[in-house]
Homo-oligomer: A and B are copies of this chain.
Amino acid sequence: MSLSREEYLPNISYDSVIFGFSGEKLKILILEYHNMKTFALPGGFVKVDEDLNTAVHRGLSERTGLKEVYLEQFYTFGSMDRHNPEIMGRIMKEQGHSDPDHWLLGRFVTVAYYALINYENVTPKPDELSDSIEWYDYDHLPMLMMDHNKIVDKALEHLRTHLDQKLLSINLLPDRFTMKDLQLVYEAILGEDLNRANFQRKMLSLDILERHDKLYSGGSHKAPFLYSFKKKTKT
């Protein structure tokens, strides 16, 4: 990937809030520019002959190896105070680019997306401008570049209000899971405890789960059923 001027649309970028979960805490994928002590959301640019959505999927795939992940676009940020050519210039200089008129130093309107994945399935790779990429607990995010903390907040707000509708598209759980697993996902995302009995009733009433054999975990108690999501029905 060359980031040459002719290949990409100028002034347009995307940023992605990649939520990760693995049975316990909600995490987010964050890029770091080590020498700069600067943190940022993973993002990218749109090729001149490429769909916006394709570009975002391509970027996620390059960083995580994951394909066919559900990505939800939730807002486009376009205020002038996003423009910070100084810090961008320093990041590029660290990596050996020093053209003072480089298109990356311009002002960007960024389209923001979020995704939800099981972070144990993934070993993230940094891009050509960053030094590393790591999972951070949502509760302990570092200070991010420009307006990226606000972007994270808005992503989570959007996810919380649309969680039920997005459930089927979520890539957080293995094919088969227990009701307890599912409840843990909900509690991590919503940030609050839920009543077990009512949660079970609600999930079953949504009519999106298929019940399978029981899981004999070796625990000295009743074995839980395993569930999977029903295939989406074409309407």
Could you list which residues of chain A lie within 8 angstroms of chain B, going by C-beta atoms?
Answer: 9-12, 46, 48-53, 73, 75-80, 107, 109, 111
- CB nearest neighbor in B for A112: B76
Interface pair A46/B78, CB less than 8 Å apart: yes
This chain: how many copies in the complex?
2
- CB nearest neighbor in B for A75: B73
Q: Give 24 pairs: A residue, B residue, CB < 8 Å, sorted on A.
A: A9-B10, A9-B11, A9-B107, A10-B10, A10-B11, A12-B12, A12-B109, A46-B78, A46-B109, A48-B107, A49-B80, A50-B80, A51-B78, A51-B80, A52-B76, A52-B77, A52-B79, A52-B109, A53-B79, A73-B75, A73-B76, A76-B76, A76-B111, A78-B111
Closest 5 A/B residue pairs (Cβ): A52-B78, A51-B79, A76-B76, A9-B11, A76-B111
Q: Which residues of B contact A53 (CB under 8 A)?
A: 78-79
Shortest Cβ gap from A101 to chain B (Å):
14
Complex formed: what's the CA distance from A79 to B50 in Å? 7
